[in-house]
């Protein structure tokens, strides 16, 4: 995810490392809560302590 104000900068960077195509679409949904399954996965991987 990239802020709209930095979009052109990021596209230029992607192209500078060989990227040939960029797809851009607006974020329609942003969830502030983390799903229980995701938290369980992090815990299982030992990543919940980070």
For 1-50, write each residue's pLDDT tens digit. 788 888 889 889 988 999 888 788 887 777 778 888 888 988 999 887 65
CA–CA gap between residue 23 and residue 15 (Å, rounded): 12
Q: In this structure, what are the phi and psi dihedrals at residue 41, rounded to the nearest 5 degrees?
A: -60, -45
pLDDT at 50: 56
Burial of 42 (0-12, 13-18, 19+ CB in 10 A): middle
Please indicate, yes or no, whether the overall pTM of this predicted structure exceeds 0.95: no
Report whether 29 contacts 37 (CB < 8 A).
no
pLDDT at 23: 83
pLDDT at 16: 92
pLDDT at 33: 81
Cβ count within 10 A of residue 11: 14
């Amino acid at each position: 995810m990239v802020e709209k104000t930095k979009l052109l900068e990021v596209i230029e960077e992607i192209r500078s490392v060989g990227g040939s195509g960029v797809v851009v679409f607006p974020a329609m949904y942003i969830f502030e809560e983390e799903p229980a399954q995701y938290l369980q996965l992090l815990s299982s991987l030992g990543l919940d302590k980070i």
